[in-house]
Amino acid sequence: MTRLRVFKDSDGANPLAMHTDHARIQSELAALGVRFERWQAKAPIAPGASQDEVIAAYRSDIDRLMTEEGYKAVDVVSIKPDNPDRAALRQKFLSEHQHSENELRFFVAGAGQFNLHVGDKVYEVLCEAGDLIRVPDGARHWFDMSEAPYFVAIRLFTNPEGWVARFTGDDIGTHFPLMTPHPSALASMQ
């Protein structure tokens, strides 16, 4: 279930608020300049679909965002629990960082957790299939995909080189709850 939890940046143990209603999550995040919305595929997507098939299923939404926000490149990232680099990838993304462009992700399948460090608060957003999130450029954040990652996500970039991060050196991510494996990850392991 998609979820937003809000913490003081000095206390990762006690959430100040928790929301699971999409409209409420969208409203809370919009106040921070974060875009959050739901998408529906225009065609069914079969397990193991190619990058081209995934992009084709969401082409109208992708084209709309490319026009509205000037994105120049699109790709699909897919990570499963058996990925041999999963631990190194997770560790890299758990480090707080920023980008000089918006970071836009649409979850086609599975789940991932964005943690936004805004002022003296941390906004933990558990995104699931159907969720789109756009983290604004310059926003301090980190991402968790759990120790058993499972997600397929469409990524859009204004920089044709793709994902480029500036790490802050702050270890704040180590003081907040890690993502537990999503049920879809556990099911894919059986």
Return the structure tokens found at 12. 């990762």
DSSP helix/strand/coil, 170: coil
Cβ distance 111 to 126 under 8 Å? yes
Place 14 in a pLDDT band, splitting at 50, 70 and 90: very high
pLDDT in tens, 37-59: 998 777 667 667 899 999 999 99
Our CA angle for 8, 148, 55, nearest 5°, is: 90
pLDDT in tens, 61-107: 999 999 999 998 899 998 989 999 999 989 988 999 999 888 899 99
- Cβ neighbour number for residue 10 with a 10 Å cutoff: 10
Q: Which domains does the chain have, with CATH numbers?
A: 38-111+129-189 (2.60.120.10)
